[in-house]
Amino acid sequence: MCGRFAVTLPPDAMAQLFGAAPANDLAPAPNYNVCPTVQINACALGETGRQLRPMRWGFIPHWYKKPNDGPLLINARAETIAEKPAFRAAARERRCLIAMDGFYEWDRAGDEKLPWFIHRSDRAPLVVAGIWQDWSSREEGEGEDRMATCAIVTTEAKGQMARIHNRIPVFLSPDDWGLWLGEDGKGAARLMQPAEDDVYAMYRVGKEVNSNRASGPSLIEPL
């Protein structure tokens, strides 16, 4: 599972990274404690090519009448994404790229949650696979609620990550971005594999990040 991450790349730099046209209302950076349901920036294909758009982290199926009508869907499992009614259309037609510095994961020592920070070994932005869709409450008039929503795609962990958690986000290299977005034809399913150990590094961080109200660069400092 990926339930919290950090991003320091400014929106204009993120748009440049992806070669995407930026929207006007992008989420600000830095944010060292990105939590579910907040606005994040994601790169998706639009009518004129790649676009960097703000999206709610928490995918809302089209049949939800309001955002909290069912479970909070922040992750989509690679093994079942093509079958789940909530995700299968987005997995075929609406895939996106989500950039971050790294994400947090926890293991346990007894009842205590101990956080780790996971990042690319080369310190480049970590780009993970996502899916998205526009959601509307479908209520007529001024009360209608509309938003773009997304989820991070995860797969079975192996190697060093498997020692602390059984899931890991799907990492995408720049050579894979076009295939995941659908620019380079079909075959995106083959990208949904766990990263090799040499691609990423991980270290302990302080327990302050256990609170979703914590903020600031000290959250990603090694212990």
Q: What is the 3 state secondary structure string of the chain?
A: CCCCEEECCCHHHHHHHHCCEECCCCCCCCEEEECCCCEEEEEEEECCEEEEEEEEECECCCCCCCCCCCCCECEEECCCCCCCCCCHHHHHHCEEEEEECEEEEEEEECCEEEEEEEEECCCCCEEEEEEEEEEECCCCCCCCCEEEEEEEEEEECCHHHHCCCCEEECECCHHHHHHHHCCCCCCHHHHCCCCCHHHEEEEEECHHHHCCCCCCHHHHCEC
Cα 137 from Cα 214, distance rounded (Å): 31
Of these residues, 43, 83, 93, 105, which one is catalytic? 105
Query: Does residue 183 carry a catalytic annotation?
Result: no
The pair of structure tokens assigned to 110 is 């007894």
Query: Does residue 150 carry a catalytic annotation?
Result: no
* Positions marked active-site: 2, 105
